[in-house]
Every structure is written in structure tokens, then in C-alpha cells.
Amino acid sequence: MDEDPLHSLYPFLQEGRKAPEEGDGALLESVRQKAADSLSVKQAFFDAHLHQMVAVAHTLATVYRGGGRLFTMGNGGSSCDAAHIAVEFQHPVTAGRPALPATHLGADTALMTALGNDIGFKHVFVRQLLAHAKAGDGLIGISTSGNSENLMAAFAKAKEQGLATIGLTGMSGGAMAKSPFLDHCLIVPTDSIHRIQECHVVIYHILWDLVHTLLADDRGKSVTYQGNSVP
């Protein structure tokens, strides 16, 4: 008679646990491969777009030198990145760097749902630009596919209003890459949405740093940003 009556029914319970490195071998290799792929995508992007990154930074610095405001927009995860950009510029974490005006167009839930319900989701960013944007401001739009209809409508309206327009996208760039309404389009050429989004984070962190570097000389001249004198 078996000491444990469950042994014949559930023999695997008696086999003991495998060592973590043995049981998770496939998962560990997946981590290595994904991390390596993420690093490779970023390195390839920056190797190919160094000059374009500096050009975008100059464009954003010009917006702020002229007393302009930055607007950001995106959908889903890209909306979260757009919010992150706005926070970075408004709340710099590095001592001695001034807060710069930036607005995330997806932040007002009541307004977004009102516009989406009443006139259609295509117009949720356009109507806000009509209300708040002026010539000399800047607009950053983020879309992993580059085909977001509401972003494309907003870029067209922004260019009509005289805003500087910047797109962050991936894959082949989609409609954003072909649009005459974007001054700059930074494309991360991979089909992986995760890798695109990971690279976008690095892109806008570096742009934030470059913009403050370009404005550093202005701070020595007590330039005024949105009515605030910055020593």
C-alpha cells in the first residue's frame, strides 16, 4: 500500500521542484533577447539620426525663445508618452533648469470625451489647438504606426496656425512620414510596438536635455519665458 494515496493519482507532486534556472531557461533567454533587441534598435536609430535630433532640438529651443508653448498628443500608450514629455518640460528634475510651458492635449478627460461624442474623435486635438495654440508654438505628436487620424488632422491645423510640428513614429513612418505638415518626423524603423515605444522614451529625454542645453546661454542673458524672467 502506498504511503501517500495521492501518489498514484498525482505522481508529479512527488517529483519536487526544478531549480529556477532550469525551469525558467526559456524565459531567461527571452529576457536576454528582448533586452539585446531593445538596445540594438536604439543604437541603430541614434546612429542614423544624430543630426535630425539636433535639428529637432533647435526647433523646440526656437519655440521657447520666442515665448511659445509646447503641445503634445498621442493615443493609448503614446498618449502616456505625450503626457511624460509635457511633465518633463514643466517640471525639470535637474537643478538650475527653468520650467517651460507644455500642455498634454489628452489630459482633460471630460473635454476629450465631449469632443469625441459630439463631433468625432478625429477632432479631439484640433479643437484644442484652435482654442489655445498660436503662431510660434510647437506640437509633438506620437504614433507608433504614424497613421493616427486625429494626429494627422491636428498636424494639418497646427501648420495652418503657424506651429512648429514634430512627429515621433515607427515602422515605415506611415502617413506622418509622407505628410507636408510635419517639420520633423523621427521614425524608429521596427515593427515591434514595444521597441518603438522604448526608443521614443530615450528620444524625448535626450531632446529635453538638448533643448535646455541650447537655452543655457539665453539664461545668462535673463531671457523671459512666458513672462517669467530666468536668471
**What's the pLDDT at 5?**
61
Residue 41 CB neighbour total at 10 angstroms? 21
Domain with 139, as residue range(s), is 20-222
| 15 domain residue, yes or no | no
Confidence of residue 231 (pLDDT cuts 50, 70, 90): very low
Residue 197 CB neighbour total at 10 angstroms? 19
Q: String of b and e for 123-149 (b: at least 16 CB within 10 Å)?
A: bbbbbbbeeebeebbbbbbbbbbbebe
183: domain CATH number is 3.40.50.10490
Distance CA 61, CA 95 (A): 19
Q: pLDDT for 134-192, tens place per residue?
A: 999 999 999 999 999 999 999 999 999 999 999 999 999 999 999 999 999 999 999 99
| 80 domain residue, yes or no | yes
Q: pLDDT for 20-79, tens place per residue?
A: 666 788 999 999 999 999 999 999 999 999 999 999 999 999 999 999 999 999 999 999
> Residue 226's closest CA among 85, 130, 90, 92?
90
| 111 domain residue, yes or no | yes
What DSSP line would sit under 75-109, residue for residue?
STHHHHHHHHHHHHHHS--STTPPP--EEETT--H
What is the number of structural domains in the chain?
A: 1
**What's the pLDDT at 20?**
61
Q: pLDDT for 82-138, tens place per residue?
A: 999 999 999 988 888 999 999 999 999 999 999 999 999 999 999 999 999 999 999
| 14 domain residue, yes or no | no
**What's the pLDDT at 22?**
67
| 227 domain residue, yes or no | no
**Which set of grid coordinates corresponds to residue 3?**
504511503
